[in-house]
A and B are shown apart, each in its own frame.
Chain A
Amino acid sequence: QQPVQSPQAVILREGEDAVINCSSSKALYSVHWYRQKHGEAPVFLMILLKGGEQMRHEKISASFNEKKQQSSLYLTASQLSYSGTYFCGTQGGSEKLVFGKGTKLTVNP
């Protein structure tokens, strides 16, 4: 039931773009995205609900393809502050949110 994230790690230079993917083997009700910096709590970025709406948070956007049970997080013109580990969390109709193993993003100057 745990969603699968890819890639496991990404290294970028400031200003470059990145895509993080999240896929599930079961039908999804919603997908959450969180970012966790080293030694800190995960911070909410956005929620995507059934319907395929694309959401935006600053220069970070995401999409949800419910037919494929996949979500993708798009980081455009990355900034140093984007560094951290990104987690997707999926809900399959119950209340609990199940997280993937995370994608570590490093943005270098």
Chain B
Amino acid sequence: DAGVTQSPTHLIKTRGQQVTLRCSPKSGHDTVSWYQQALGQGPQFIFQYYEEEERQRGNFPDRFSGHQFPNYSSELNVNALLLGDSALYLCASSFSGLVWRGSYNSPLHFGNGTRLTVT
């Protein structure tokens, strides 16, 4: 059973460029969340996709956008890259229909991330 897969693993871009990161969720999962993790910090929530729509969004500018496809895979796009966008980008999948002790609250399964370096 494949877990969450992300591609590419590493990426080097120049300021002002655009980047697309990809994520395939764990089999059976239908929800994808994206996080940005700076060195030595906790993951920061970017947004979450469910049924091909953005369901929740964190405090990130519109330069960050995403998409979810019918097969539940997802992309994260970042436009006009800044040096401060350098970070590990984590994709996490979950199952929206999981009832955990009577509440809909599913554990997140993370991919190994994409390390983005902006020069």
**B107 and A32 form a contact (CB under 8 A):** yes
Determine whether B72 belongs to the interface, using a CB cutoff of 8 Å to chain A.
Answer: no
Within 8 A of B (CB), among A12-55: 29-30, 32, 34, 40-44, 47, 49, 53
**B112 and A41 form a contact (CB under 8 A):** yes
Determine whether A84 belongs to the interface, using a CB cutoff of 8 Å to chain B.
Answer: no
Query: Which among B44, B109, B111, B113 is the interface contact of A44 at CB below 8 angstroms?
Result: B109
Q: How many residues of B contact A (CB 8 A)?
A: 24
Determine whether A91 belongs to the interface, using a CB cutoff of 8 Å to chain B.
Answer: yes
Q: What string of 1s and 0s marks CB contacts (under 8 Å) between B28-64 and chain A?
A: 0000010100000111110010000001101000000
Q: A32-B108, A41-B110, A95-B56 are in contact. Are A49 and B101 (CB under 8 A)?
A: yes
**A97 and B103 form a contact (CB under 8 A):** no
Compute how far the CA of A40 lies from the CA of B6 in the bound complex, rounded to whole angstroms: 13
**Which residues in A have their C-beta under 8 angstroms from that of B48?**
95-96
CB distance from B60 to the nearest CB of A (A): 12
CB distance from B64 to the nearest CB of A (A): 14
**B43 and A96 form a contact (CB under 8 A):** no
**Which residues in A have their C-beta under 8 angstroms from that of B45?**
96-99
Q: How many A-B residue pairs have CB under 8 A?
A: 59
Compute how far the CA of A5 lies from the CA of B18 in the bound complex, rounded to whole angstroms: 35
Compute how far the CA of A62 lies from the CA of B105 in the bound complex, rounded to whole angstroms: 17
**A47 and B105 form a contact (CB under 8 A):** yes
Which chain A residue shows the least CB distance to B45? Answer: A96
Q: What string of 1s and 0s marks CB contacts (under 8 Å) between A75-109 and chain B?
A: 00000000000010101001111111110000000
**A41 and B90 form a contact (CB under 8 A):** yes
Compute how far the CA of A101 lies from the CA of B41 in the bound complex, rounded to whole angstroms: 5
**A41 and B113 form a contact (CB under 8 A):** yes
CB distance from A100 to the nearest CB of B (A): 5
**A97 and B42 form a contact (CB under 8 A):** no
Which chain A residue shows the least CB distance to B107? Answer: A44
CB distance from A19 to the nearest CB of B (A): 19
Of A44, A87, A94, most buried by chain B (CB within 10 Å of CB) is A44
